[in-house]
Structure 1
Amino acid sequence: MPANNATNNDKAQDESDSTKNPAGGSIFNGGKGYAATAENAAKAISDNTPGTGIGDWDEENETVSGSTSGYVHKLESGREPWLMRQTAHGALDVMGGFLAPFFQGVQKTAGEQLKVSSDPQTTSNMASAAKGAAYKKVKEDGVKIEREDRPTIDKETQDALKRAHYRTEGAFLVCKFNAKAYDVALHPSGHKAYVVTDDGALYGVDLTTGIKRKVITSEALGGTRGVAVGADNQAYVTDFSGNRLLQVDVSNGKTQVILKDVNAQGIGLDRNGKAYITDVANAELLEVDLKKKEKKSIISGLGDQASGVALVLDENGKARKAYTGHWWAAGDLFEIDLEGSSPTKQPVTKADYSPGLAVDGTGTAYVCDHSADILYTVDLEGRKRREAVKSAAGAFSPFGIALDTDNGVAYVCTYEGQLWRFSLSVLQSPELIEIVTT
């Protein structure tokens, strides 16, 4: 049959082309050969199907001359194309007039593709040209990611995620020091903590990464005990052994002496340029004007080793209450009312060995007991304390504490040279956090 002969001939041609061009011949010759086979098959069907021959009406003999079905095909070809037909002759027109030319086009395209692929130099030149153009574009324009194209999270969302994380975190060890960590203060921005150690150093700690850097000062800080930080990047450090109150610019380490001849231990700042410090020698609370570098006694009789100052501020940033503890002695947690013309004090609960303490402004105090290795919470109204964190001896001896109420966390530094972060919600829960050594 013609269809079989066409298929065999194309197969032979495919094999011949593939031999000449083994790299591209198989794919392009295959497409070309299949198209040729389809074209020849369509032609063979058209040639061997009734109605595809030639037939005309013989007027003289009043009969069909030639193929009768061909004559019928001719008649139907002149009809309206959208009318329903009773034969398949219209389909033959489609086969002869559309399919065969279509497959001829496919053969031509495949042949052209084969020619290109058979010439490695042509393909290489095309690739080289494209590569060169792309390289030139990158070299001229550069690869730039504009600021507005970078993925960002707005500050409100960041703060919300941070608070949610902190409140479910429980306890987290932020960093360690090579010396005893005596006190901690938070920068008002909330991004950094400042820690003083017993070797006379002041460290800044990034609270997101836990990376610590020593603040290089212009002079030795001496026997550091307490630290507080203002929004102006000034840290105030008590030097117990040198009987001084120092000011340190944390941005450049520049240091100056604010007061001399003061046995300072604990310290707290208001937002109006005043510092409140405990003087161990006289067991009293002092108010210091940081600009004038002047001090005055607020109240005395705070007991042995008076230390640990926590302030409650009013809406204008003025101190209205102060709380004090004891550095290395047994005694009471004192509440001092600063609003009257004559300040008064009263004991709240026992606060043995409490160099560090903080209050949240909503009726709860947090008290460090480095001797018993316990962090207490104290209900200031009910006058009751509860163990919130404890450990075996030598694992967690809290000395200093600072609160970040915006993010719901407390930072605690220890005699072991550690800085911890605790969720306030966990500290306030009935559950006890136990710190163990590993």
Structure 2
Amino acid sequence: MSTANSHDDNSKYLNNYKFIGIIGSGASGVVYKVLNVINNKYYAIKVVLNNTVIRDKQNLLDSIFNDYFENDKYNTHNEKLKNRMILNSINFHYYLTNEFNYGIKKEISNQLKVHKHKHIISVIDIYNYQITNYYNIKNTNVTFIIYDYIEMDLFTAIVEKQIFQNATDTTLIKKIFIQICRAVKYCHENGIYHCDLKPENILVDIENEHAYLCDFGLSTTEKSLCDTQSIGSTFYMAPERVIDYETIYKSAVTKSSPTYSCDIWSLGIILTNIVCSCNLWNLPDPKKDQFFKSYMTNKSVLLDYIEVSTSFYQLLTLILEPDPLKRYGIDDIIESVRNIRSFTQHGKYANVDIYDIIDDDTVNEEEIYDTDFSNGLVSHDSSETMVSLQHNDTNDKEGVFYGGQGVTVLRRPTLQHSSAPFNGNGQAITI
């Protein structure tokens, strides 16, 4: 077996972490699966080029490592260090005691404020390296963030593995969803609003029936947002992020709305994903999505559209309340889901048990570090920003007619990976 000081292969290492392969990627970052060769546990490393679009994701590590070993500052002839970068860990205190308004620093800072909760993915370590030349871009900061590794996200569990459709325990939906709600509640109690809740940003350990909230890239500490300030992914955005109050209520009651309500709305869509394996609409805008327009006029279209039970329909209308000031509270959602006796009109979820919560909101007060190399405070450049991509909506224009109601609505959108999320300026971004 390889150790930190003796490598018997050509793998790349960051301190004690051996890179295994790519998990996923975006415009400015790539996430890798890694093995800590000291404790023999798997982790995930998010590698972010600050304020720089990645030109070649498959060869990103080669670019970074080549720069590292060509740099005289790091050059070494010690064979034991071949293919291994050695960087000092950044003390978490740096992120927790400074204010950051954008970019990877803001993401890290917000997550560190809540990552001790048992249903939020933990940050294990953070490293920084300044690459001297990346495709003729000079002195670009590279941030390495090490997280606990969970193999499956909620999207995969719903669509590819069909975990909930095949589950013998009808309370599994309740267990997982209530854990997600508790994680979101803890964030709100600590002044953090996720703003991009969706199945891809929730990891699940189905064997242990455990959910983890992750990816705080769009999170904010702002308690209110201006109407139509687009933040999130279109399937999961609240209507106030797309259309203003005046459009909905014919009068400009307010020009801003509470940020926490956006997360509440997203939870309602996620619960629908889990129960029905579908999305409700592509965008909560009555001018652009015919079914959402129908829902705004007559919420009961849900009963036929996704064949939910009356009790679940009533709960959904309270969560998916277009008025953010009247939207259901998170404690009410948890209690309602715990006690609901049916989700669907037919099938296994037409009759479900009450869920007696035995879980708690334990917070882990211990920080876990890779202590072999965790010393020293590394300085950071504060100029990084998230890189924007163009968003492409999936427009499904096949209409269907629901008998007796005289309402033409769009065919139910299939549950698919969300397009790039929007930042606060209405621009789409990834990692």
TM-score norm. by structure 1 comes to: 0.23
* Greater radius of gyration (CA): 1
Name the structure with the higher strand share.
1
When normalised by structure 2's length, the TM-score is 0.24
